[in-house]
């Protein structure tokens, strides 16, 4: 049970950091961390299929799309 | 717990390791005193697989350099060790000694994190590969119902590190490399997953173990030759080796996403790429050539032989083929590979429906 609480606290903290970070790239990194962490929660709860799909879809595809849009965003280009 | 029981539990663990090939995730049903034995077995197996994957990477890099030198009429590494076998270790020491340079304008955190995002999933993926099912040479660390899904999931994380590394460098060439890497990812991911789905349909299971045992009479390359071609091309594309090396094309973008990387960070990218090559060769061997199935030799030997064949094909394509253009690459991914994989899915669904007893 303690593993579940650790994973949940990490998920909440990384979600807060993802929402509050000024830097778009950092907030995407925290979002990736959150997604993998949620996959870990599913894995701990023995729902292996959902866990694999969580990694496959969110960490694999959605984060790639978000990174692409970050790459093309005005704020990121101005920072460069 | 007394010493005798502890030693017995270790012995029990070793016996388990040699004959039965899975470590339970939940320790329900396991006698209380034997948790330690299970834990030790798990640690030993993970360490063994980690060592095996590192050795595989070292051998592949050595073979690649010698082979490339041979093709280009050079000698290749020949000074350190016999026939230059210790060259890679010397290179690692050189990379560790180098100054740690991070560009001033770079995003320092993301720049530091990126190589590990490439490297870690590769190592995790090796744990899920079934290396064999009988006798002493038995290295299947985990066996549960969704291993092949997790393998592919880990393989989809790895290119994320390339994009993050290219973005964090704040460099025009790196940015182009990252953009191309993202485009290539999206272009190849859908056909790759669809051809994997057709394998799952034929085997009727998400487990790598079941996929291999379903191929004991006919390997899946026979009914699914289209899917094999699509998956193999997608694997070459995911590794970004020539002819699909657009993210790091040396002649246009200095070296793409890894332009600003030097020292051990570059080394980790390098090891991650070669590890990914070994991992994808093993995955192709498991899902299309029947993994450990084969006469005479133990299963692990068969899997390594099949994997090495694919690694040599990867290296051959790396050395001998020219680069395609980015629009041609995306056109190939979306207009040709995607329909081919859908056709393949229909064919394998038909086979599973009408000739289901074959597999």
- Residue B148 and residue B200 in contact, taking contact as beta carbons nearer than 8 Å: yes
Looking at B15-24, B114-123, B342-351, which range is the least confident one?
A: B15-24
The DSSP code sequence of B255-290 is: SGGGTT--HHHHHHHHHHHHHHHHHHHHHHHHHHS-
- B30: preceding bond cis by omega (within 30 degrees): no
Q: Give the end-to-end CA distance of chain A in Å, rounded to a whole number.
A: 45
Confidence of residue B343 (pLDDT cuts 50, 70, 90): very high
Q: Which of B9-23, B181-195, B232-246, B327-341 has the lowest mean pLDDT?
A: B9-23
Integer Rg of chain B from CA: 22
**Lowest mean per-residue pLDDT among A64-68, B43-47, B94-98:** B43-47
**From the list B113, B146, B157, which residue is nearest A60 (CB)?**
B157
Q: How far is B170 from chain A (nearest CA, A)?
A: 6
Q: What is the pLDDT averaged over residues B54-82?
A: 84
Look at residue A15 in the predicted model and tell me its pLDDT.
93
| 8 A C-beta contact, residue B196 and residue B160 | no
Q: How confident is the model at residue A26 (pLDDT cuts 50, 70, 90)?
A: confident
Mean pLDDT value of segment A2-19: 89
Give the pLDDT of residue B33. Answer: 58
A46 token code pair? 């023995």
> Would you state the structure tokens that stand for residue A62, as one six-digit string?
């959605």
CB contact under 8 Å between A29 and B206, yes or no, is no
Instruction: Provide, rounded to the nearest whole percent, the portion of chain B with pLDDT above 90.
Output: 5
Q: Any idea of the CA torsion for A52, B280, B158, B103, to the nearest 10 degrees?
A: 170
Domain segments of chain B as ranges? 99-358
Interface list for A 48-67 with B (CB within 8 A): 48-49, 51-53, 55-56, 59-61, 63-65, 67
Per residue in B212-255, pLDDT tens? 888 888 888 888 888 899 999 888 888 888 888 877 777 777 77
Give the tens place of pLDDT for each residue, B97-148.
888 888 887 788 888 888 888 888 888 888 788 776 654 444 556 667 788 8
Mutate to test the interface with A, among B27, B105, B167 (most CBs of A within 10 A): B167
- Tell me whether A4 touches chain B (CB under 8 Å): no
**What's the CA gap between B281 and B269, in Å, rounded?**
18
Mean pLDDT of chain B: 80
* CB of B221 closer than 8 Å to CB of B247: no
Position A77 confidence tier, pLDDT thresholds 50, 70, 90: low
A55 to chain B: which residues are within 8 Å by CB? 150, 153-154, 156-157
Interchain CB distance below 8 Å, B144 and A61: no
Answer yes or no: is pLDDT of B157 > 80: yes
Quote the pLDDT of residue B141: 60
Predicted confidence (pLDDT) at residue B66 exceeds the cutoff of 60: yes
What residues contact residue B97 under an 8 Å CB cut-off, 6+ apart?
Answer: none
Residue B19 pLDDT grade (very low, low, confident, very high; cuts 50, 70, 90): very low
Distance of CA B217 to the CA centre of its chain: 26
Percent with pLDDT over 70 in chain B: 84
Q: CB of B318 within 8 A of CB of B173?
A: no
> In 3D, which of B164, B250, B160, B116 has the Cα closest to residue A26?
B164
Q: Quick check: A49 and B146 CB within 8 A?
A: yes
Which site among B109, B160, B247, B256 would you substitute to test the A interface, given the most A Cβ atoms closer than 10 Å to its Cβ?
B160
pLDDT surpassing 60 at residue B276: yes
ipTM surpasses 0.95: no
> For B177-181, what is the mean pLDDT?
85
Is pLDDT at B328 greater than 80 in this prediction? yes
Q: What is the mean pLDDT of residues A7-28?
A: 89
Torsion sign (Cα): B210, B216, B217, B221: positive
Q: Which residue of A has its CA nearest to B172?
A: A80
DSSP one-letter code for B86: T
- How far, in Å, are B83, B163, B180, B255, B296 from residue B166 at the CA level? 36, 5, 10, 10, 48
Residue corresponding to tokens 């030799």: B297
Q: Give the pTM.
A: 0.83
Sketch out chain A's domains with CATH numbers: 2-79 (1.20.120.1200)
How buried is A2 (Cβ within 10 angstroms: 0-12 exposed, 13-18 middle, 19+ buried)?
Answer: exposed
């Amino acid at each position: 049970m303690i593993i579940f609480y650790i994973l949940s606290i990490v998920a909440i903290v990384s979600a807060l950091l993802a929402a509050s970070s000024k830097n778009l790239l950092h907030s995407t990194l925290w979002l990736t961390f959150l997604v993998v962490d949620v996959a870990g929660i599913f894995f701990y709860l023995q729902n292996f299929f959902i866990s694999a799909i969580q990694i496959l879809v969110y960490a694999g595809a959605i984060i790639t799309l978000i990174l692409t849009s970050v790459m093309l965003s005005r704020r990121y280009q101005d920072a460069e | 717990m007394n010493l005798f029981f502890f030693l017995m539990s270790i012995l029990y663990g070793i016996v388990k390791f040699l004959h039965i090939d899975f470590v339970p995730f939940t320790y329900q049903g396991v006698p209380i005193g034997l948790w330690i034995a299970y834990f030790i077995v798990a640690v030993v197996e993970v360490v063994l697989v980690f060592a095996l994957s590192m050795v595989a990477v070292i051998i592949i890099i050595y073979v690649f350099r010698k082979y490339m030198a041979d093709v280009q009429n050079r000698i290749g590494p020949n000074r350190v060790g016999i026939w230059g076998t210790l060259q890679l270790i010397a290179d690692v020491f050189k990379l560790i000694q180098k100054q740690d340079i991070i560009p001033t304008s770079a995003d320092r955190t993301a720049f530091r994190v990126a190589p590990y995002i490439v490297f870690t999933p590769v190592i995790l993926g090796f744990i899920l590969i079934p290396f064999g099912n009988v006798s002493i040479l038995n290295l299947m660390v985990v066996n549960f119902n969704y291993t092949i899904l997790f393998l592919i999931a880990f393989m989809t994380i790895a290119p994320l590190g390339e994009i993050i590394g290219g973005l964090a460098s704040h460099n025009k060439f790196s940015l182009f490399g990252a953009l191309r890497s993202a485009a290539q990812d999206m272009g190849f991911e859908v056909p790759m997953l669809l051809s994997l789905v057709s394998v799952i349909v034929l085997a009727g299971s998400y487990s790598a173990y079941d996929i291999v045992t379903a191929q004991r009479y006919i390997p899946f390359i026979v009914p699914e030759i289209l899917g094999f071609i699509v998956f193999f091309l997608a694997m070459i594309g995911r590794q970004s080796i020539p002819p699909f090396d657009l993210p790091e094309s040396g002649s246009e973008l200095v070296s793409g996403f890894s332009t600003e990387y030097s020292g051990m960070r570059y080394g980790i990218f390098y090891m991650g790429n070669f590890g990914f090559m070994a991992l994808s060769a093993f995955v192709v061997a498991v899902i299309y050539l029947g993994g450990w199935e084969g006469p005479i030799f133990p299963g692990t030997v068969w899997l390594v032989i099949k994997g090495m064949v694919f690694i040599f094909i990867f290296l051959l394509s790396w050395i001998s083929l020219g680069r395609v253009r980015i629009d041609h690459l995306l056109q190939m991914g979306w207009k040709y590979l995607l329909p081919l994989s859908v056709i393949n899915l229909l064919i394998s669904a038909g086979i599973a429906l009408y000739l289901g007893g074959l597999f």
